[in-house]
Amino acid sequence: MGGPAAQPLKKCLRLESGLWDPLARLKTSLFDFQLDPARIAQEPCTPRDEARLLCHSVGRNQTWHTRVRELADFLARGDLLVVNDTRVRRARLLGRRQTQGAVEFLLLDADASGHFRAMVKPAKRLKPMECVQLEGCTGRVRAIEREMAAGESGAIWKVEVLRKDGERASLQDLEQWGSLPLPPYIRRSPGDARIVQDESHYQTMFAARLGAVAAPTAGLHFTPRVLDALRQRGVELARVTLHVGPGTFRPVESEEIEGHPMHTEAYELGAECVQAIERCRARGGRVIAIGTTSARVLEHCARPDGSLQVGSSTTQLFLRPGSAFRVVDALFTNFHLPRSTLLMLVSAFAGTERTLALYLEAIEREYRFFSYGDAMLLMDRTRDV
């Protein structure tokens, strides 16, 4: 198994040392790798905390292989976990045109007038002001105008969702009519029994604030058993919100990573979280971001001195090799897609060469990858202030 899939990473690790110069413009191809499809997890472990966990000390360059249920053994009294409490919307709507052609809508953000931006597949023959009847309900979608040409994920249209009486559908209507938008690499065929299980499997136990179209997948590993062990250890927990958008799955297509236009996502950082971080620092604890989404919120809101600004807005922060981390001391995260901004964020935190080496080790040890896959804990990193 470690053979063909591992070769691209081995090649990356043999590149000339000049490519590791922090001032160099990194090529996107450096973050590309092949993965045996068998390593892409199609369902989570049961229970979730049975997922494997690769723990790595950046400071000591030491690695351990364990299970998520043992996470508390690697943390200390006074540490603070920061989780993302976003909840995935049932944003995927299926419909049929009058010609009986199937259409899929993925509802993104809504504007002030109540219209949605939506990814539409297939979009080739859809016409402005055309109405599409939704399957399994009385709702319909009116396509208003196309905003972006079709790409790999479909075209972007401005749409409105209507009830049978012609009134605009409410969020409650959409939650009844829609389904969870699973990542494209999680394969489901009609009638697959796992579709029902995904309704709970693809939400974290922290999910409270509706707004995401993709799960903050690091949080999927947590269970009451893990939280109980962390509490007994003296580890505290705080929450941020980042409503994950579909751009999280978009590969970087520019030749150099600096040329990538980062997607925009809405966030909120509350006073309670900021106060918890201040208390953590005062007692000498570590701030541990649960997932890249939590890390982006904290680093977006960080001032140059490492203090945090309470607030809510949107972020396009692209953490990549050379970026400073002013808040996050440790990172708990999944194994991410090749050429993704998420892999680049992890590389920014632990170093590109080290991250690729850890991915190679995970591939050779047959870890499970992506949303329903295994996890990694990176710790003992000196904060950049």
Quick: pLDDT tens for 344-374: 999 999 999 999 999 999 999 999 999 999 9
Judged against a pLDDT cut of 50, whether residue 290 lies above it is answered with yes
Q: Give the tokens for residue 163.
A: 């009830």
- pLDDT of 24 reads 58
Alpha-carbon distances, residue 200 vs 6, 48, 105, 187 (angstroms)? 33, 12, 22, 17
- Burial class for 251, CB neighbours closer than 10 Å (0-12, 13-18, 19+): middle
Judged against a pLDDT cut of 60, whether residue 29 lies above it is answered with yes
Mention every residue, 6+ apart, whose C-beta is less than 8 A from residue 201: 43, 44, 194, 220, 372
> What is the C-alpha separation between 21 and 19, in angstroms, rounded?
5
pLDDT confidence of 11, banded at 50, 70, 90?
low
> What is the C-alpha separation between 373 and 385, in angstroms, rounded?
33
Calculate what percentage of the chain has a pLDDT beyond 70.
91
Judged against a pLDDT cut of 50, whether residue 16 lies above it is answered with no
Q: What is the mean pLDDT of the chain?
A: 91
> What is the C-alpha separation between 74 and 94, in angstroms, rounded?
45
Q: Domains in the chain, start-ordered, CATH in brackets?
A: 4-88+202-379 (3.40.1780.10), 92-177 (2.40.10.240)
User: Are the CB atoms for 246 and 239 separated by under 8 Å?
Assistant: no
pLDDT confidence of 55, banded at 50, 70, 90?
very high
* Pairing mode of beta strands 209-212, 62-67: unpaired
pLDDT in tens, 155-171: 899 999 999 999 999 99
CA quadruple 205, 206, 210, 212: dihedral sign: negative
User: Are the CB atoms for 74 and 286 separated by under 8 Å?
Assistant: no
pLDDT in tens, 195-209: 999 999 999 999 999
Note the pTM of the prediction, 2 decimals: 0.92
Average pLDDT value for residue range 183-195: 93
Read off φ and ψ for residue 145, nearest 5 degrees: -160, 150
> What is the C-alpha separation between 20 and 271, in angstroms, rounded?
38
Read off φ and ψ for residue 350, nearest 5 degrees: -105, -10
